[in-house]
C-alpha cells in the first residue's frame, strides 16, 4: 500500500510539473516579441509594431524632466514624421557614453528594458563613432557650449576669471564645466566653487536667487533659467583653447540604415520649417545650428 501511494504521488507530481512547463512555455510565447523576418526593414518593424521608441535621458533640463522638455518635443515630432505614436523611454545615464549606446541602442539594459529605436542627445563625435561601430550617429540638431553666467551688478565685465576673484561660483561638479573650473589656473579658483549642484540649471537658479555671483554650465541649462533677464550676462568661459562647443544628434543600430535616413530627413524638415527653433524657444533656449 505504501508503495502504491508513493507511485500515485510521483505520478501526480510529474503531471503537475508537465502542466507548469506548458504554462511557462505559453507565457513565454505571449511575452516574447514577434518573430522578425530576415528581410524586414527597421521602418517596417516600427510601423508593424505601431510605435517609435525613443530613449531620452532622465532629469536633463531643459531637454527632459518629468516627460517634458526639448528632446520630448523632438521625439514627438519624429514619431509624427514616421506616422506612428511615440513611446518615450527615459533612462538614467550610465558611466560613459559607450555604456548608454550599448544599453539604449544596440543591446538593451541588463535590467531588462531597451533597446530603443533611437537615442537622442548623442554627441556627434568622430572618436565616439569609431569606438562604437555597432551604432550610427547622425542628424545633429543642436550645438551645445560651456558657458558662464554672472550677476552684472557685482561683476560688470568678465575679461578673465580673475574678474571673479573672491566671488562664489556655482557649478555642477561632475561635468565638463566643473572640471574646467576646478582645473583652471592650476586650481586657483577651486576654493570659490560651489560644486554641489546637480546640473547647470540648478546652478543658474542659485545665481538667480542671489546665493552666488556666477554660475557655469551648458549654455542650454543656463539660458533655460536666465535668458532674457537683464540682470545677468551669459558668455563663453574665458579660458584659453575652449572648444566651440559640440553637436548633439541621434543614434540607431548600425544596420538600421532606412530608419536613419528617415529620421535624418525628418530632422532636416524640422530645422527648415523652424520647428526645431520653436521647440528650443519653448524652453527659453536659443537654438544653435549644429
pLDDT for 240:
73
The total number of structural domains that make up the chain:
2
Is residue 123 in some structural domain?
yes
Residue 81 and residue 222 in one domain: no
- Convert the pLDDT of each residue in 68-89 to its tens digit: 999 999 999 999 999 999 999 9
Q: Give the structural domain span for 197.
A: 146-236
20 pLDDT exceeds 70?
no
Residue 155 lies in a domain: yes
Same domain, 140 and 251: yes
Task: Give the DSSP H/E element, type plus range, for residue 99.
Answer: helix 97-101
For 287, residues 6+ apart whose C-beta sits below 8 A from its C-beta are 142, 276, 277, 279, 280, 281
Whether residue 68 is found in the same domain as residue 154:
no
Residue 201 cell numbers, joined: 540649471
Contacts 24+ apart (CB under 8 A), 200-204: 200/171, 200/172, 200/175, 201/61, 201/62, 201/225, 202/170, 202/172, 203/170, 203/171, 203/172, 204/149, 204/170
Assess whether 172 and 91 both reside in one domain: no
251 in the same domain as 120: yes
Does one domain contain both 139 and 152? no
The predicted structure's pLDDT at residue 242: 64
pTM for the whole thing?
0.84
Task: Specify whether 115 is located in the same domain as 157.
Answer: no
Q: Based on the domain organization, do 133 and 258 belong to the same domain?
A: yes
Question: Is residue 96 very low, low, confident or very high in pLDDT (cuts 50, 70, 90)?
Answer: very high
User: 229 in a domain, yes or no?
Assistant: yes
Q: Specify the pLDDT at position 241.
A: 63
Residue 2 scores a pLDDT above 60: no
pLDDT of 100-126, one tens digit each? 999 999 999 888 888 999 999 999 999
Tell me, what CATH number does 151's domain have?
3.40.190.10
| Domain membership flag for residue 36 | no
> Within this chain, do residues 152 and 227 fall inside the same structural domain, yes or no?
yes
Q: Please indicate, yes or no, whether residues 166 and 46 belong to a single structural domain of this protein.
A: no
Cα separation of 139 and 169, whole Å?
35
Query: Is 134 in the same domain as 276?
Result: yes
Q: What is the pLDDT of residues 136-154, one digit of tens each?
A: 999 999 999 999 999 999 9
Domain check: are 101 and 47 in the same one?
Answer: yes
Give the pLDDT confidence score for residue 4 in this predicted structure.
Answer: 45
The residue-averaged pLDDT of 198-202 equals: 96
pLDDT computed for residue 230 by the predictor: 97
Amino acid at each position: 500500500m505504501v508503495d502504491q501511494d508513493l507511485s500515485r504521488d510521483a505520478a501526480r507530481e510529474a503531471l503537475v510539473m508537465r502542466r507548469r512547463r506548458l504554462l511557462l512555455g505559453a507565457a513565454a510565447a505571449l511575452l516574447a516579441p514577434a518573430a522578425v523576418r530576415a528581410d524586414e526593414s527597421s521602418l517596417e518593424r516600427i510601423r508593424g509594431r505601431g510605435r517609435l521608441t525613443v530613449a531620452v535621458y532622465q532629469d536633463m533640463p531643459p531637454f527632459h524632466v518629468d516627460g517634458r522638455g526639448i528632446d520630448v518635443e523632438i521625439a514627438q515630432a519624429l514619431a509624427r514624421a514616421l506616422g506612428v505614436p511615440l513611446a518615450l523611454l527615459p533612462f538614467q545615464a550610465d558611466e560613459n557614453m559607450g555604456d548608454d549606446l550599448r544599453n539604449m541602442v544596440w543591446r538593451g539594459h541588463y535590467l531588462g528594458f531597451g533597446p530603443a529605436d533611437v537615442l537622442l542627445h548623442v554627441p556627434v563625435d568622430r572618436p565616439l563613432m569609431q569606438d562604437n561601430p555597432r551604432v550610427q550617429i547622425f542628424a545633429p540638431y543642436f550645438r551645445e557650449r560651456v558657458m558662464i553666467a554672472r550677476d552684472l551688478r557685482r561683476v560688470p565685465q568678465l575679461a578673465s576669471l580673475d574678474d571673479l576673484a573672491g566671488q562664489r561660483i556655482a557649478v555642477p561638479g561632475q561635468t565638463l564645466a566643473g572640471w574646467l573650473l576646478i582645473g583652471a589656473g592650476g586650481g586657483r579658483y577651486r576654493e570659490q566653487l560651489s560644486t554641489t549642484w546637480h546640473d547647470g540649471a540648478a546652478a543658474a537658479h542659485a545665481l538667480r536667487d542671489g546665493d552666488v555671483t556666477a554660475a557655469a554650465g551648458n549654455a542650454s541649462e543656463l539660458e533655460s533659467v536666465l535668458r532674457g533677464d537683464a540682470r545677468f550676462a551669459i558668455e563663453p568661459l574665458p579660458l584659453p583653447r575652449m572648444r566651440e562647443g559640440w553637436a548633439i544628434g541621434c543614434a540607431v543600430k548600425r544596420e538600421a540604415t532606412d530608419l536613419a535616413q528617415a529620421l535624418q530627413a525628418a530632422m532636416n524638415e524640422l530645422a527648415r520649417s523652424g520647428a526645431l527653433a520653436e521647440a528650443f524657444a519653448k524652453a527659453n533656449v536659443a537654438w544653435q545650428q549644429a
